[in-house]
Amino acid sequence: MKRPSIVLHYDPLVAPAPAEWLALTETERIQLAADYHRRARIRLPNAKMHAIVHAIVEAQIALGDETPAQRTAQRLMDEGLDRHEAIHAIGSVLMGFISNVLKGSELDDPGTNPNASYFAELERLTAEEWLRSG
């Protein structure tokens, strides 16, 4: 028997309750993000990938101090981005990191945390830099 979803709607401008978001399956998180963008009639080149990135970033934010994502999102909002824009900014860093991993450049030193460069890039990210990137 399928358990009922705790979160029924997703709005990137409003943070979901962390425990409730993390209680969802990855598939449910992705579907909620996709549903939001469909309802908002936001046209995207790759709606599924966009929803996946939202789901990942929201999960990282929900983890609190386990990753710098929550701190970065708050800082970006303090710098003038709305929450949805902050998620996109973090997502852009995430996608760059994933691209580097796929090329093999992030896995050169097996003795280091493979997420270290991603986390460092999040710490350096600014709203002004992201807005300039287009």
Task: Render pLDDT for 8-63 as a digit per residue (tens, 0 to 9).
Answer: 789 999 999 999 999 999 999 999 999 999 999 988 899 999 999 999 999 999 99
Q: Give the C-alpha separation, 119 to 106, whole Å.
A: 12
Give the pair of three-digit tokens for residue 120. 């460092």
Cα angle, residue 86 at apex, residues 69 and 112 outer, rounded to 5°: 30
**Total-model pTM:** 0.90
Whose CA is closest to 12, among 53, 44, 48? Answer: 53
Backbone angles phi, psi at 9, to 5 degrees: -140, 150
Position 114 confidence tier, pLDDT thresholds 50, 70, 90: confident
Q: Give the C-alpha separation, 32 to 22, whole Å.
A: 13
Average pLDDT, the chain: 90
Predicted confidence at residue 86, as pLDDT, reads 98
pLDDT at 99 > cutoff 50: yes
